[in-house]
Chains A and B, each alone.
Chain A
Amino acid sequence: MLFPTFAFLIFFVIVFVLNWMTRQKPFLWKIVILAASLVFYGWWNWRFVFLLGTSIIINWLSAKKIRDESEKLEKLLARRWMQTAVIANLSLLGVYKYYDFFVLEISNRLKQVGFDTGLPLLDLTLPIGISFFTFQAISYVIDVGREDIEPLPLLDFAVYLSFFPQLVAGPIVRASEMAPQMSARSDPRYLQSAAAYRLILGGLFKKVVISSYLADVIVDDVFANPSNYSSLDILVGVYAYAIQIYADFSGYTDIAIGVALLLGFRFPQNFDCPYRAKSLQDFWHRWHITLSAWLRDYLYIPLGGNRGTSRRLYINLMLTMILGGLWHGNKGTFLVWGLIHGLALIAERLISERFSESQIRTLLSPRILSLIRWMITFHVVCLAWIFFRAPSVGDGLSMLSGLFSFRIGVELVTSTLLLVIFGAIGMQFVTKGIREAFQAKTNKGSAPAQAFLFALGLVVIDSLGPDGVAPFIYFQF
């Protein structure tokens, strides 16, 4: 079930009513939300509800076992259970997302030296959102293992893992963020409806209008056949994709956060104006924040983080970014995307180790330095996006080759397109003060005024958007 559809609207109105009718009766409320979440998930393919159910039961049992052993002071055994649970989760992800890829790679390599592995290829249909709920499950068992949180009762855990607003494309919410809210029993008298409407409308606008427009007028064409277009078309196409993927993914997140807010839940922020970042490190504090925090807490720090030698730090950084890339899928393009980010992060560290801030400032004025940093960061991110979007590494290289062929001409670039792209980038620089002032102003609106503006916003979005709704890009991950 996609958010911007009539089916979801009907579904949500029913869930909204049931949510607030049962909110003060925790058991009933959990049953209602669990049932709603399973309907939401089963809407795509009801068979995958069993997969989600299996994940819920295995992870809940594992966490319980971890805590039992821990209480018996069997720390080693508790650790073993935690490792087993993590491996089980990764195996589930591995079978669906990576098995065929690795079998193909190994079989093809061995075939070249005359050895046939005979390993079967499974051709499984990828369950939607599996990467997101598996990462949430892993964070849960690790947090229980680390004794950061108490294990949840089965029903609570099932609601946490399957909660429909964030189930299929995040944000990756930790149990420590969700559990207190489940037991808090939100007060139905104080609903932050203005913020919710703002998020939902903003998300819809980003997805239905901006993302669809950019995909339609330039991105799909340029990435499908870069050799047909001039260098300028390709360059603007890459900028457009940077905005498209941001609008698409952050649009989904905004809607998810808004929907959760209407149900009385506050989700963590997932994007914070990523294209205003002036370093790659800064970018990763602003882009897909819940994934980068997850990678930091459950991969980078356990690998050793920035403890130890510089070499070790670089290896940890590179491994984290490569695995972050492969989290998106089993294509070489995601590997290259991770490599580019890893290399850029290492380069940043090397530069900051070699040159102090004051040394650099003696050469350039702060404004110019800031501008150069922003431009480098933005273009490194765009370079990585080329491979993220390209169907294959070879296609990504064709894009680069077209970009630097300096072919003259303009076929797809229009003034409206440039206005959308640079307008979207410009919006990232709107200061927090202005944004907060706007939010405060809209928060004061009466319920009828909010509803009226919401209705008007929907009409404008529907008018500006194309027919039909393309699936969100991050659904495939």
Chain B
Amino acid sequence: MVDVSQEQPKKLGTPAGKVLAWGLLGLLLASFLNSKILLEEAELKPLGTARTVSIALWTPIEKLAGSIGLTRPQELIDGLLETEKTDKPLGELLVENFESVASKESAIYSRGLNTEKLEPNANGLEQIAALDEADNLIEGPEVSPGPSSSNPLKLWILGDSMVQFFGETLVAYAESSEVIEAESEPVLSSGLVRPDFYDWPTRVTEIMLEEDPDVVVMMFGGNDGQSMFVPPAAWYKTFSNEWIEEYSRRVGEIMDLVSKGSNRLVMWVPQPPMKSEAFDDKMKRLNLIYEAEALKREQVYFVKIAALFSDENGEYSKYLTSDDGQTVDARLSDGVHLSTFGGQRLSRYLMHELGEIVDLSGGLATS
């Protein structure tokens, strides 16, 4: 710690102009040395002007720095720290995944949901809005022989920062049943729109291959209300028809990666009501897409949670009434994420829903 308040002012120092000139040169040097990371960071920015400008700025700098060897120190440090990312071809992994899963005899916890199927739809929104009203396509879940402490159910919880606020609570509740082994893996700022930021399909594939869970709880969307880049060069504006089609495809893909060719269950958790009206509107539209895709798949259970986090008018409410009649805050001050109570409420509900599908009494019976 430098105590500048105690240092006597001396007539020593550097003129401000010199500090500025050399400081800027230093920053320029740092930009060149660091250009690879800065370009990567620019590419990870949310789509929009800031990203476009950043990429336009850092691309020539990175090229120039690379051509004169100024990116070498960075690469050397990366090498020492082993932070270089390994790029796995997704297609290869997907094929491996399906083959691997199909060949396995995983524990069966089938639940017989969604016998009705929907035809693929360009945007699905109107159709699902109608379904919401009817809400009669979901059959009651079938309870199958459940896991035991010697043959526990493997539960994974995946998603964006929303998962951070209930994932570990759900893990704790699940493991207290003594028949579930649970793991939570939230990735902040991630989603399905920006695989360049975080590649969920690849990660999900890895988890399915390496861990082979029985049930996967998924929650995405908080960061997905943004324009989408679709290789090789297409940009889709948020909630345009093309965007909805592509996003629906990605949602379907991630659901299939978990469930296709296996008996795994996906519990898809939609976004709860949000404080900001504009954000809430976006999330409601995304929820319709999730529900549409879930309805197309037998092993995907769309868990309706809006009522858990709404007031008597069905609107967002930070404060809710607990089981014992107390008023409790269910959301953080950002009006988005769940509070401890909110996380507990959601986790309890998910456990209840899981218990409706899978017989979780094995732990009690054996204990």
Interface residue range, chain B = 35 or more
Taking a contact as CB atoms under 8 Å apart, the answer to whether B326 and A108 are in contact is yes
Q: Is B150 an interface residue (CB 8 A)?
A: no
Taking a contact as CB atoms under 8 Å apart, the answer to whether A100 and B329 are in contact is yes
A455 to B74, CA, bound (A): 12
With A126-B333, A447-B18 already in contact, 15 other A-B pairs whose C-beta atoms are closer than 8 Å: A121-B319, A125-B334, A190-B9, A191-B16, A198-B2, A228-B168, A228-B171, A261-B4, A266-B5, A268-B5, A269-B1, A269-B3, A450-B26, A459-B30, A462-B37
Q: Is B366 an interface residue (CB 8 A)?
A: no
Least CB distance, B57 to chain A, in whole angstroms: 9
Q: Is B49 an interface residue (CB 8 A)?
A: no
Q: Is A313 an interface residue (CB 8 A)?
A: no
Contacts of B22 in A (CB 8 A): 447-448, 450-451
A191 to B13, CA, bound (A): 5
* Contact string against B for A residues 148-191, beta-carbon threshold 8 Å, 1 for contact and 0 otherwise: 00000000000000000000000000000000000000001111
Q: Is A417 an interface residue (CB 8 A)?
A: no
Q: Is A463 an interface residue (CB 8 A)?
A: yes
Of listed B13, B37, B81, residue having the most chain A CB within 10 A:
B13
Query: Closest residue of chain B to A265, judged by CB?
Result: B4
A: residues with CB less than 8 A from B are 6, 9, 13, 16-17, 20, 100, 104, 107-108, 111, 121, 123, 125-126, 188-195, 198-199, 202, 221, 224-225, 227-228, 250, 254, 257, 261-262, 266-269, 271-273, 391-392, 395, 435, 439, 443, 447-448, 450-452, 454-456, 458-460, 462-464, 467-468
Taking a contact as CB atoms under 8 Å apart, the answer to whether B1 and A459 are in contact is no
Q: Is B29 an interface residue (CB 8 A)?
A: yes
Partner of A188, one of B11, B15, B37: B15
Taking a contact as CB atoms under 8 Å apart, the answer to whether B41 and A467 are in contact is yes
Question: Could you name 19 residue pairs across A and B whose Cβ atoms are closer than 8 Å?
Answer: A13-B20, A125-B333, A190-B9, A195-B2, A224-B164, A224-B168, A225-B172, A257-B4, A269-B5, A435-B1, A450-B22, A452-B29, A456-B33, A459-B30, A459-B33, A463-B37, A463-B74, A463-B77, A463-B78
Least CB distance, B346 to chain A, in whole angstroms: 15
B: residues with CB less than 8 A from A are 1-7, 9-27, 29-30, 33-34, 37, 41, 44, 54, 73-74, 77-78, 81, 83, 164, 167-169, 171-172, 175, 188-189, 275, 318-319, 325-329, 333-335, 339-340
Given contacts A123-B318, A193-B13, contact A455 B4 (CB under 8 A): no
Partner of B12, one of A188, A190, A228: A190
Contacts of A261 in B (CB 8 A): 4
Partner of A459, one of B3, B10, B74: B74
Given contacts A267-B4, A392-B340, contact A191 B15 (CB under 8 A): yes
A193 to B24, CA, bound (A): 13
